[in-house]
Structure 1
């Protein structure tokens, strides 16, 4: 069974515009994609109901709020048990500075992405929220020197 939503050309145009500027009103969007406002409104609702479009958010420039250090942290677990994983994942959810967390294949079990104020801020989170967890065996940190490319837009 295929659960992939079937996009047509109009859907793709709508998604491309909304990924660049989610604040577009229906009338402006309709003008950009060469469709009627009511057609755009119906398409957006259908894309939302199908789970293709998520919530509307505004992206914050990390440097503008003093969060200039991007860090990726590999985590190795002592135990792969369901309880250990659930407890660790709950701890990750509770720390807002951890923006993304992935379970991964290979020698590490998790990859975390944080954007912090500085090295001391990262140390506080690493020591108090990651390494302090009973299930964590080891970590390895990668500090970003410069962000070369960053996008939230998916090719449609």
Structure 2
């Protein structure tokens, strides 16, 4: 049985605010959640130690870097054996343009999310890193027309 970290109302307020702006100092955060800075600091450390809070990151706007095409690529494997899957997963982890790779249920075996510069950039990755893998039988790609919603914040 998996044990979950118990969140109280103050923890939830802290997490909600930090998911929007992780750069806030303890004093500013304390003011926003109506608590002391030392209490906030202790709770943040406890949330980090429990694995609820991960590393501090800054989100980069892909368009500002010329990456304007979001692609979801479905992958079907030739083999479902553990070696084939492990080899494929290592190959996908090694390609930095693949932002997320999911093992999924249903008709396809994996779902990849990429943000690329253009169709030629996607073709290079698809042909050279995905279809070139010996375990891949087929792929199907969906191209994002417009992001309707995109968030990294989880409801707490």
Which range, TM-score by smaller chain?
A: over 0.9
Q: In structure 2, how many angstroms separate the alpha carbons of the residues matched to 1:146 and 1:3?
A: 38
Q: Which residue of 2 aligns with 1:50?
A: 50
Match status 1:59 vs 2:59: yes
| Structure 2 counterpart SS, 1:114 | strand
Q: In structure 2, how many angstroms separate the alpha carbons of the residues matched to 1:85 and 1:138?
A: 14
Match status 1:91 vs 2:91: yes
Aligned-residue offset at 1:124: 0.2
| Structure 2 counterpart SS, 1:147 | coil
Q: Which residue of 2 aligns with 1:128?
A: 128
The count of residues paired between Structure 1 and Structure 2 equals: 156
| Structure 1 counterpart SS, 2:128 | helix
Q: In structure 1, list runs of 5 or more residues that go unmatched.
A: none
Q: In structure 1, how many angstroms separate the alpha carbons of the residues matched to 2:30 and 2:60?
A: 27
Aligned-residue offset at 1:2: 3.9
Aligned-residue offset at 1:118: 0.3
Aligned ranges for residues 1-156 of structure 1 at < 5 Å? 1-156=1-156
Aligned-residue offset at 1:135: 0.1
| Structure 2 counterpart SS, 1:99 | strand
Q: In structure 2, how many angstroms separate the alpha carbons of the residues matched to 1:99 and 1:25?
A: 29
RMSD over aligned CA atoms reads: 0.5
Aligned-residue offset at 1:58: 0.3
Superposed CA offset, 1:63-105 (max 9, x none): 0110000000000000000000000000001100000000000
Q: In structure 2, list runs of 5 or more residues that go unmatched.
A: none
